[in-house]
Amino acid sequence: MVAMDQRDSLRTMMAERTGRDRDRVGDGDMTGFKLAVARELGPYASALLIDRHYGCDRMLAERALPDSCAPILAADALTQEPGGPVTGTAIDQAVVPDAAAADGIRALKLLVIWQRDGLRAHRTEMAERFVRMCRAAGLASVLEPVARPTPGEAAEGTFRLNDAIVEAATELAPLRPSLYKCQVPDGGKGTVERIAAEAARIHAVVDVPWVVLSQGVEPDDFPRAVEAACRAGASGFLAGRALWTSALGAPDPVAALRGECAERLRLLGEIVDRHGRPWWSAVREAHDAEGGAA
C-alpha cells in the first residue's frame, strides 16, 4: 500500500530535492505529484492513502486509481510548524465519514503521536472515537501511532524506540482498528533476524492485521525491514518515502515513478507475497480472538 498523504512534509521534501525555496513549492506542485503517484503506482498497490487538501477530490473525479487499488483518506488534522515535524494530531472535523464512503473512500487513517506524557489518555480516547466513527460509516479504520520521545527522554537519552513501539501497541491495538500501522524496529537497521525478533514483540500484542511504515527507514533498508516484519507476522506495508522520494528531484518525475519507483513497489510486493501473513488470515485470527474474549 502506498502512502501519499504527506502535507507540509512533502513541501519541505520537494524543496530540498529540487533546490527550490519552500515558498516556491506551490499547492499545485504537490497536488500534481500526488496524482502522478496515484496514476503510476496505483496499478501495483492494493490501496493508496491521500489527504483531502492536495488531490483527493481530483483523484476520485479523474479515476486516477484502478479498481484494484482502494482509496484511503487521511482523517487527521496535523499540528506542524513549517519545515518541522508533526507534533500533534486531532480528528479532522472536515472529514465526514458517511460522505467519504459515498464518494468511494474505503478507509480512513488517523495518525497518533504517541509519547509517555500527560496526554496518553486523551490520545487513546481520540483513537477509540476514530475507530467507532469508521465502523459506524462502514469504513475500515487505519490507526497509525508514531512513538516519539518526550523532551526529558530526549535530553537524558533514555528513549528506546523498540520499547516505545511495543508500549504504544499495547495501549492502542486493543481498540481493534481494521489495520494497525507502526514503525519498523531499530529504524530498519540490522539483520533480518534481528529486526524480526524485535517485530515479534509487536506481533505478540497486536491481534489485528498490522503493517509497517517507512518513515525513519533508509530506502535501501526498507526491503529487508519489510521482510523481517512479515516474517514476524505483519501483513505488509503502507509506505510513502521509501517508494517515491527518488522521483522528487528527478528530471522527469513521472518517468521516475513509472520506472524505478514502480519496480521498487513491485519487488516489495513480491516480498510481502512470499513472507507476509495474508490479510484474510490475520482478520480471521483477530475475529477468533475477539470471539474467545467475549
Burial class (CB in 10 A: 0-12, 13-18, 19+), 228: buried
The C-alpha cell that represents 254 in the structure block = 513521472
Which domain, by its residues, includes 6? Answer: 2-293
- Rg over CA atoms, the chain: 18
Selected catalytic residue, list 34, 109, 181, 189: 181
Q: How far apart are CA 65 and CA 289, in angstroms?
A: 34
**Tens digit of pLDDT at every position of the chain (294 positions):** 999 999 999 999 999 999 999 999 999 999 999 999 999 999 999 999 999 999 999 999 999 999 999 999 999 999 999 999 999 999 999 999 999 999 999 999 999 999 999 999 999 999 999 999 999 999 999 999 999 999 999 999 999 999 999 999 999 999 999 999 999 999 999 999 999 999 999 999 999 999 999 999 999 999 999 999 999 999 999 999 999 999 999 999 999 999 999 999 999 999 999 999 997 777 777 667 666 554
Between the CA of residue 31 and those of 7, 14, 52, 171, 270, what are the distances in Å?
10, 12, 10, 35, 29
Residue 181 annotated in active site: yes
Q: Is 257 in contact with 213 (CB distance < 8 Å)?
A: no
Q: What is the DSSP letter of 274?
A: H
Task: Give per-residue burial for 147-184: e unless 16+ CB within 10 Å, then b.
Answer: bbbeeebeeeeebebbebbbbbbebbbebbbbbbbbbb
pTM beyond cutoff 0.85: yes
Angle at alpha carbon of residue 167, lines to 225 and 213, rounded to 5° = 30
Q: Is 169 in contact with 211 (CB distance < 8 Å)?
A: no
Beta strands 179-182 and 140-147 are parallel
Q: What is the CATH number of the domain that holds 109?
A: 3.20.20.70
Between the CA of residue 7 and those of 33, 84, 129, 176, what are the distances in Å?
12, 11, 24, 27
Which phi and psi (to 5°) does residue 70 adopt? -80, 135
In 3D space, the residue among 186, 116, 119, 185 whose CA is nearest the CA of residue 151 turns out to be: 116
Beta strands 70-74 and 76-80 are unpaired
- Number of structural domains found in the chain: 1
